Structure 1
Amino acid sequence: MKILKFGGTSVANADNIKKVIDIAKKSSKNNPIIVVVSALGGTTDILLQAGIKAEKKDNKYLSEIESLENRHIFTVQELIKDSHQDEVISQVRTYFNQLVNILEGIYLINEFSNKTKDKIASFGEILSSYIISEAMKSQGVDAILKNAQELIITDESYTNAKVDFKVTEKNIQDFYAKNESPIVVVPGFVASTSKGENSTLGRGGSDYTASIFAKALNVTELEIWTDVSGMFTANPKLVKQAKPIKHISYQEAMELSHFGAKVLFPPTIQPVLEQKIPIRIKNTFDPGAEGTLITQNTNGNTSPAKGISHIENISLLTVEGSGMIGVPGFTKRILGTLSDANINVSLVTQSSSEHFLCMGIDSKDVTLAEKLFNKAFKYEMSQGIMDPLIIENNLAIIALVGDNMKSHQGISGKMFSTLGSNNVNIRAIAQGASEKNITAVIERKDAVKALNTLHNAFFEGDIKQLNLFVVGVGNVGGKLLEQIHMQQQYLIDEQHLDVRVIAVTNSKKMHFDTEGINLDNWKESLKEKGDKLDLEKFFKNVKSLNYRNSIFVDNTANAKISTLYADYLKNSIAVVTCNKIACSSEYENYQNLKFLARKYDAPFLFETNVGAGLPIIDTLKNLIMSGDKVTKIQAVLSGSLNFIFNEFNSQTSFHDVVVEAGVQGFTEPDPRIDLSGVDVMRKILILARESGNVMELDDIKNESFLPQSSLDADSVADFMATLEPEATHFKAISEAAEKENCRLKYVAEFDNGKAKVGLQHIPSDHPFYNLDGSDNIVLFFTERYSQQPLIIKGAGAGAAVTASGLFADIIRIGNK
């Protein structure tokens, strides 16, 4: 024999009820069954709201009840097509007439007591069970209806009544001993007192009803049918990667249910626990799915953690005071004050010194709790031996649950370090000696991030999700998206990194997709779905999404965007950038960004600031961290200038070579940034700073090769227009180098705390002489590399290599 319980979503409408009937028919072929049903989805809330409105003399309760009646009648019309329909509709109208009479009484006397609430709320299940049983009969199913109010007897604690199990179990057993029908339909949630008054079993009462019947009849299995395929490793609405748990113990299920897993009502398990009756969670809309089996033990399943759950709207109450130390019964007084007012405490933690006690309660109970506390401990506070109650709101509880966690070392450490690395601040911690759950109180705004982060760490095979917010999708940004798209599956398979692009911008538009932008058609999405670019709104969106492992990627040379880095870092959002402006700005700002990155555990990576994709900065960092000291740096750091002076000679036009460099993407859109030497100045400044030196951009000597007319140009067009008339100037520069059998290279130097940039004549025996195309080269002279420098050489300009450098920084964060 089995008990099948169907929740509100399973019986929300006629189509769903047809699925319920099909499931019941199949289940009853081999075994007799009892079908326990909830009210049609949302009915109970509407009934209680109608009662509240009637109490307040709000006539709208009548229209709401009329709408609810029409919904039930429509359901009957959809389910029952034969001549029996009129009789069923007539009975439904009778129930609603009774309901309206009670509501009119509430309206007249302005009172809506708990006793009356139970009478009103009972109509939902009474109606649904009647309609479903009659629908079964109309299909020729051998089914009967039995009102649970005739069997389940409770005390008079209305709205949350306590069951008299001795009487109730005898009633159920006596009834079933005489029953011959293979299917019995029973309304859940409802009961009656020993005096025959309506009572209810509280929140989740239909589950409880099913469990009571299961225990009384010692059934082979209790099936809870809902709208999901079992208990999940986390709430699937909040964690997309959550998966059903195949097998779980009673204790694990109770822990998960207590901490917010709404598939199962915690008290449900209690009646079946004694009999060790298996519970199976099934999906009404996918009956073939395996679901979750709940038993006494899990047959050797050694997985340390089974699931993660959470409760929102938690407030933390902290009681402190020297008068608490060593005083027997003080904690009992504190908790008793809340208990007497039926305020549930979800979490308790106390210092070993007994100086403070921390409690987590539902936020709706805070005002009452504070009032009661101030009254109960008025004397202690007036004497200064107890401080005023400290209240923290907008919190949530996260719980990691598993029977086997006690057998595995490091579970707590893994949980807390995982949260910490994503800047989820923990306000309180509780862990019982049994170690069946580890509980942490965090800010409510971090709940979704925490759930996803922990789920990733414990249940996703160590696949780490990176969420990118990409600003600038021109040459470099476009190449970056192309490279990410090409490597996405490889990174999942080989590196266990799931790289998602959540947002992109160009100079005019921005586009967000919370599930990740499809990189097959990101250009079309930006064009067709993008909103007007607003950098402040962009930041607010990134912050409000609060995704784990968020990375802000700046592919621009925009000064305004570089000023936003601090805001991102303060919110634990990593920054990856090829924009040199921030790291070459005032030293104080550079240092502040590095400080914020450390403080908020948010990587700030800018490898592409120098040498595009070459590992120049990373190599320099490793030298410094290993204890080496940089004494001198010589470098060709501008791929555009190297290209220009490799192509330019006394036989070519300087103007034409600059144009060609722009066409090939080697120069910035404004070539003056490259040709003025400012770009190279920024790069050598960054290297000097990364070497541990305090230096400003103005400290670098710039030996410009440009004529004054070019330096004075007000626009790009004006600048380009000066190059042709100055052909003689440029030709003279080239000829001077040729006379010495040298090549022109734009060189950056840092030596003994001083830096300079400018054109130099490079002889044939110098490492710079054969530097081709747009390549860069850096010579690091250090205490270890004092005679022969450490040399890094390779392509130092171009969209593809710069994008690959940004990509490498993103992967570094992923592997952190």
Structure 2
Amino acid sequence: MKVLKFGGTSVANAQNISLVKNIVAHTVADKIIVVVSAFGGVTDQLLHAALLASVQNRDYKTVLKEIEDRHLATIKELISIKDQSQVLSKVKSDINTLETLLEGAYLIGEITPKLSDKIVSYGELLSSYIISEFFLQEQMDVVYKDSRELIKTGDSTGKASVHFERTNTNCATYFSEVPNKVIVMPGFIASSENGSSTTLGRGGSDYTAAIVAAAIDAEVLEIWTDVSGMFTANPKLVKQAKAIPHISYEEAMELSHFGAKVLYPPTIQPVLAKGISIHIKNTLAPEDAGTLITKNKNEKGKTVRGITHVGNMALLSLEGPGMVGIPGISKRFFEVLSQAEISVVFITQASSEHSICVGISADDVHHAVDVVNTAFEYEIERGKIKSTIAEIDLAIIALVGDNMKHHQGLSGKMFSTLGRNNVNIRAIAQGASERNISAVIIKSDVKKALNALHEEFFEENIKQLNLFVMGVGNVGAKFLEQVRQQRKFLKENLKLNIRVIGISNSRTMVFDENGIPLKDWESVLAQGQKADKVGFFETVQNLNYRNSIFVDNTASDEVASTYHSYLGNSISVVTCNKIACSSNYENYKSLKDLARTYNAPFLFETNVGAGLPIIDTLKHLIASGDKVLKIQAVLSGSLNFVFNNFNENTTFHDVVEQAKAEGYTEPDPKIDLSGIDVMRKILILARESGNKLDISDIKNKPFLPKESLDTDNNEDFFASLKTHETGFQKLYTDAQKADSKLKYVAQFEDGKASVGLQQIPKGHDFYNLEGSDNIVLFYTERYPNQPMIIKGAGAGADVTASGIFADIIRIGNF
């Protein structure tokens, strides 16, 4: 014999009920017991109608009419016209009885627990009757059996205690004698010894099925729902979650207790003792394997089997010096909560006995505070115990697995993963069996926490990086194209899954939680909402994704000023914008401190040398204990391009214009030609070498005439270059006469920095520097005479974009 239970979503409508019929028809067994829930949502409607009636609100009639219409419509879809009359008549009769019960609640202005049980029972009574009649019409060998005739309970209401001896005898006798192959029963409902309707509490239909399965020693208990088994995490929150093929009873109970909604924990109890397997299956996808729950069948080598959570939690703390060494405090605390019918789902106590902390439903928190403060009023008045403290808006997350106790470091791995993603842990609990490690966190962090832990424990070390990109001009566009081209390679070879979640330019911004399609990002962005830097940050913050990275491809000081907000919320920052790192030293240091404090990488390799690994190399030198003695460098790809192409056959104006057109200069070329850009770069290198320096400390020997420096727009700037062409030609001819080349050089030595145009003689490392290349010479204690040289393309959208991309990969490999 097999027991099949179908939940509310499985019988939500005529279409789903037809799927149920097909599943039952193809089930191989000598007898099939089908336990059904109320149509999806009907139980809630019945409770709502009862509440309205109890406060004498006539709207209960509207709710009842909705319930009636839904059932009648389902009958008309399932049952042929010639057979409808009897079924409609029976259902209408039941609805009339239900209306009488609700009318009684309305007249007396209250609803008793006993009356509530009677009202709520009609959800299952109606659905099971309609389904049995549909099966009968489909020529199935079926009979309807009222569960109240088999399952006997005590007189308590809402969650009645089952009298198993009587119930087991009833079930064994009935199912051994009934001749029909298929028996349809309502779940959730039972009856007391005197015949009054009772209910089995939340998850009662599962419980009904388990009680029957245990009573008749069923071959298997199948729980049919709307998901394909128990998952490694909630698939609605973690898209990469996978169904668990095989799991133990104990693991299933832990996962169910901590929020896995496909199974209610008490369900397992009756079948556990009998060793009857439970199979979780999907009514909407019956071909899926689902999850098989049996005794101690954890796959070899598996540690964490699932990650789950309970939302809407609160922490209740009892603490004070008067608790230390005083016997019975804990007993009194838990007795008070028990007598108030407040369920405790989480307990932790300091070894000093100074405090006890418990997790309860947030719905009970105000009542809990009142009863505990009342119970300990004497101790509170005398300062021995503090007034009870409650924290709300919390959730519990838990790792579950039978074999976790055999593996060291799981707790550390869990907590370090949460810490890296700025998920603050409010409390921790771990049993000696180590089957469950639980932590209390802020409920707004649940999605991020679940995804981060799932990535760590289940996704074959594939790390997801969520990018938010500001600026899509030359560099930004190249960067997005590089990401698009390399996504597959990175996933397969570096185990990095990169998604671009947000993009903004100066006009519009757009977000897509599933990742913006990079093939069409331009058209998607064009249809986005109005750009807003504050709104952009707030959206990134509210999405609260793990491994979030803000990518700044702009040269905006406004954007640079937002870095503090990102880093302070554990959002990494990658930027080619030099403004932040060359701002006043305190701001620079603050950003570096925030990055360390909140474990959010702040990378700016492209600030110096575009895609060249200059800053990264410098960091490794310093980290390994080396000390920088001197830095000499040509750091402006744009200036190098200009002076490599400027000669007696060209004009300085035309070469600068060409450099701007080819993307070697900033949008405002004066930033490059004035030396400001180079000053920023040598400042950053000096700071990264461990020196405290501001840009005002750098000596700048400009080669541009004052008229050019004083212009405030590009048109006037280029006009001034034409005016002073003679002076530029003189710079060139003077260098030629000295058999030298013009290079704009930055230098740092003995705590002092300078930038300026120099004549570089033959034989010097800078002399043959071509095109827009950069070069840096690091003289250190380990390289005092022959410097470490880094040389290569130091400007251009492609190489700058590749440098940004490299920083993102560095973060992925942290």
TM-score between both structures, scaled by the size of structure 1? 0.99
Aligned residue for 1:21? 21
CA deviation vs aligned residue, 1:305-364 (integer Å, no higher than 9, x gap): 110110011111111122222222221111111111111111101111211111000000
2-structure distance, mates of 1:176, 1:809? 68
Deviations 1:257-294 (A, max 9, x none): 00000000000000001100000000001111111000
Which position in structure 1 is the counterpart of 2:348? 349
Deviations 1:776-815 (A, max 9, x none): 0001111221111111100000001001100110000000
Q: Tell me by how many angstroms 1:370 deviates.
A: 0.5
Instruction: Check whether the contact 1:37–1:188 (CA below 8 A) recurs between aligned residues.
Output: yes
Match of 1:588 in 2: 586
Q: Secondary structure at the match of 1:335?
A: helix
More displaced 10-residue stretch of structure 1: 663-672 or 291-300: 291-300
In structure 1, stretches of 5+ residues that fail to align are: none
Give how far 1:710 is off.
Answer: 0.7
- For residues 495-644 of structure 1, the aligned pairs below 5 Å read 495-528=494-527, 530-644=528-642
Q: For each residue in 1:186-235, what CA deviation from the matched residue of structure 2 results, as whole angstroms up to 9, or x when unmatched?
A: 00000111111111000000000000000100000000000011000000
Distance 2:379 2:298 in 1: 53
Find the aligned partners of 2:327 and 2:401 in 1 and give their Cα distance: 34
Quick check: 1:274 aligned with 2:273? yes
Whole-angstrom CA distance in 2 between matches of 1:348 and 1:30: 45
Equivalent position of 1:318 in the other structure: 317
Shift of residue 300, structure 1, vs aligned partner: 5.0
Do the aligned partners of 2:247 and 2:298 also contact (CA within 8 Å) in 1?
no
- The answer to whether the 8 Å contact 2:421/2:547 transfers is yes
Q: Which residue of 2 aligns with 1:481?
A: 480
- Aligned residues between the structures: 814
Partner of 2:416: 417
Amino acid at match of 1:183: V
Residue 725 of structure 1 aligns to which amino acid in structure 2?
T
Q: Distance in 2 between matches of 1:116 and 1:721?
A: 91
Match of 1:706, SS state, is coil
Give, in angstroms, the shift of residue 174 of structure 1: 1.8
Q: Which residue identity does 1:25 align to in structure 2?
A: A
The question of whether the paired residues in 1 share the 8 Å contact of 2:742 and 2:757 is answered with yes
Give how far 1:299 is off.
Answer: 6.1
Deviation at 1:593, TM superposition (A): 0.2
Aligned residues of 1:82 and 1:138 also touching (Cα < 8 A) = no
Matched AA of 1:284: T
Helix, strand or coil: the match of 1:36? Answer: strand
Offset from partner CA, 1:511-551 (integer Å, 9 cap, x none): 100011111111121113x1110111110100000000000
CA distance, structure 1, for counterparts of residue 361 and residue 260 of structure 2: 16
Give the match for residue 661 of structure 1: 659
User: Cα offset for 1:601?
Assistant: 0.4
* SS of 2:755 mapped into structure 1: strand
Asked whether the 8 Å contact 2:369–2:389 carries over to 1, the reply is: no
Aligned counterparts of 1:121 and 1:601: Cα–Cα separation in 2: 52
Measured at CA, do residues 624 and 350 of structure 1 come closer, stay the same or move farther in structure 2, by a change above 3 Å?
Answer: same
8 Å Cα contact 2:153/2:163 also seen in 1: yes
Name the residue aligned to 1:182: 181
The Cα of 1:409 is off from its aligned counterpart by: 1.1
- 3-state SS of the aligned residue for 1:370? helix
> Per-residue deviation at 1:723?
1.0
Offset of 1:31 from its aligned partner?
2.6
Give ranges in structure 2 of 5+ residues lacking alignment: none
CA distance in 2 between counterparts of 1:176 and 1:332 reads 46
Moved more, 37-46 or 650-659: 650-659
The one-character-per-residue Cα deviations of 1:79-114 (angstroms, maximum 9, x if unpaired) are 001411011011111111001111111111001121
C-alpha contact 2:508 2:530 (8 A) present in aligned 1: yes
- Deviation, structure 1 residue 51: 0.7
- Structure-1 residue corresponding to 2:716: 718
How much has 1:177 moved relative to structure 2?
2.5
Residue-by-residue CA offset, 1:712-739 (whole Å, 9 max, x unaligned): 2121111011111211111111111111
**Deviation digits for residues 636-657 of structure 1, max 9, x if unmatched?**
0000000000000223100100
Match of 2:450 in 1: 451
User: 2: CA distance between counterparts of 1:71 and 1:37?
Assistant: 17
Counterpart for residue 468 of structure 1: 467
Distance 1:670 1:59 in 2: 72
- Number of the residue aligned with 1:35: 34
2:168 is the counterpart of 1:172: no
Partners of 1:692 and 1:78 lie apart in 2 by: 78
Deviation at 1:30, TM superposition (A): 3.8
Kindly indicate whether the alpha-carbon contact (under 8 Å) linking 2:248 and 2:298 is maintained by their aligned counterparts in 1. no
The letter of the residue matching 1:20 is V
SS in 2 for 1:784: coil
- Secondary structure in 2 aligned to 1:567? helix
SS in 2 for 1:724: helix
In structure 2, relative to structure 1, the CA distance for the partners of 1:300 and 1:596 (3 Å cut) is closer
**Residue aligned with 1:525, SS:** helix
Give the CA deviation at 1:663: 1.4
CA distance in 2, matches of 1:222, 1:31: 14
Q: Which residue of 2 aligns with 1:330?
A: 329
Matched, 1:296 2:295: yes
AA matched with 1:13: N
Structure 2 partner of 1:3: 3
Cα distance in 2 for residues equivalent to 1:494 and 1:57: 66
Q: Match of 1:752, as an amino acid?
A: D
Partner of 1:107: 106
Mapped to 1, the partners of 2:696 and 2:296 lie a distance apart of: 72
CA distance in 2, matches of 1:87, 1:31: 30
Give the direction of change, closer, same or farther, for the CA distance of 1:300–1:444 in structure 2 (3 Å limit).
closer
8 Å contact kept, 2:304–2:404: yes
- One-letter amino acid matched to 2:16: N
Amino acid at match of 2:17: I
- TM-superposed deviation, 1:664: 1.0
1:56 is aligned to 55
Letter in 2 for 1:258: H
* Equivalent position SS for 2:723: coil
For the residue of structure 1 that corresponds to 2:692, the secondary structure is coil
Which amino acid in structure 2 is aligned with residue 57 of structure 1? Q
Distance 2:728 2:523 in 1: 45
Q: Does 1:70 align with 2:101?
A: no
Which residue number corresponds to residue 438 of structure 2?
Answer: 439
CA contact (8 A) 2:2 2:29 kept: no
Instruction: Give TM-score scaled by structure 2 length.
Output: 0.99
2:82 match: secondary structure: coil
Give the deviation of 1:302 after TM superposition.
2.9
What SS class does the counterpart of residue 298 from structure 1 fall into? coil
> What are the superposed Cα offsets for residues 2-43 of structure 1, whole Å, 9 maximum, x if unpaired?
00000000000000000001111111x543100000000000
Counterpart-to-counterpart distance in 1, 2:121 and 2:63? 17
**Corresponding residue for residue 85 of structure 1:** 84
CA distance in 2, matches of 1:409, 1:246: 25
Distance (whole Å) between structure 2 residues aligned to residue 299 and residue 439 of structure 1: 20
Q: 1:369 corresponds to which residue?
A: 368
Q: Using the alignment, how far apart are the partners of 1:534 and 1:65 within structure 2?
A: 49
Match of 1:208 in 2: 207
Q: 2:807 aligns with which of 786, 792, 809?
A: 809
Offset, 1:669: 1.0
Query: What secondary structure, in the 3-state scheme, does the structure 2 residue paired with 1:608 have?
Result: helix
User: Contact 1:234 / 1:309 at 8 angstroms: preserved in 2?
Assistant: yes
Structure 2 CA distance for aligned equivalents of residues 606 and 392 of structure 1? 40
- In 2, the alpha carbon distance for the partners of 1:469 and 1:622 equals 28
Q: Deviations over 1:459-505 (max 9, x none)?
A: 11111100000001111111111111111111111111111110111
* 1:64 Cα deviation from its structure 2 partner: 1.2
Aligned partner of 2:704 in structure 1 is: 706
Q: Is the 8 A contact 1:256 1:308 kept in 2?
A: yes
Aligned residues of 2:259 and 2:310 also touching (Cα < 8 A) = yes
Does 2:237 match 1:238?
A: yes
